[in-house]
């Protein structure tokens, strides 16, 4: 499923592309010294379930195929993460997209990931500063 070096990059087109993006991104996450341990601690041996959820999320976001129904922020509120973790997550995501794809959907994926990282970071800071408030699920 990995794109070969001699293949011309194309845009994100279908569910197979979403799966390739998610699989390769989370492979990089798992091997990252900064955010890998956070993911390992939270996900443990539930990677298949997490990956299925991420396929569905990005399929909904990028392909307009509504397969994800959930609230992405609440699971992140209690994680021991800060700005450097969000920055690394985004670096890994953008590098994965750039290695595999080019085009409008690829650019949209990076834009949406950046906005999501910013929003999660701001919300996390807000709820940490206001512990009596609870995020809506």
Dig out the tokens for 122 from the structure. 């701001």
pLDDT of residue 8: 84
CA gap 68, 35 in Å, rounded: 24
- What is the pTM for the complete model shown? 0.86
3-class DSSP assignment, residue 54: helix
Q: In sequence order, what are the beta bridge partners of 101?
A: 10
User: Which residues of the chain register pLDDT less than 70?
Assistant: 1-7, 135-137
Q: In sequence order, what are the beta bridge partners of 10?
A: 101
Closest CA to 93 of 120, 67, 66: 120
pLDDT of residue 4: 54
pLDDT of residue 6: 57
Closest CA to 29 of 111, 92, 113, 90: 92
Q: What are phi and psi of 130, to 5 degrees?
A: -130, 70
Dig out the tokens for 39 from the structure. 């993911």
Q: Contact 63/15 with Cβ under 8 angstroms?
A: yes
């Amino acid at each position: 499923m990995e794109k070969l070096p001699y293949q011309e990059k194309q845009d994100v087109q279908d569910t197979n592309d979403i799966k390739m993006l998610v699989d390769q991104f989370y492979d990089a996450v798992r091997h990252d010294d900064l955010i890998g341990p956070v993911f390992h601690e939270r996900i443990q041996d539930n990677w298949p379930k997490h990956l299925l959820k991420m396929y569905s999320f990005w399929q909904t976001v990028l392909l307009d195929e509504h397969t994800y129904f959930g609230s992405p922020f609440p699971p992140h509120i209690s994680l021991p993460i800060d700005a450097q973790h969000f920055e690394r997550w985004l670096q890994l995501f953008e590098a994965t997209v750039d290695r595999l794809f080019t085009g409008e959907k690829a650019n949209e994926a990076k834009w949406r990931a950046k906005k999501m990282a910013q929003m999660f970071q701001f919300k996390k800071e807000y709820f940490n500063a206001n512990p009596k408030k609870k995020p809506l699920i």
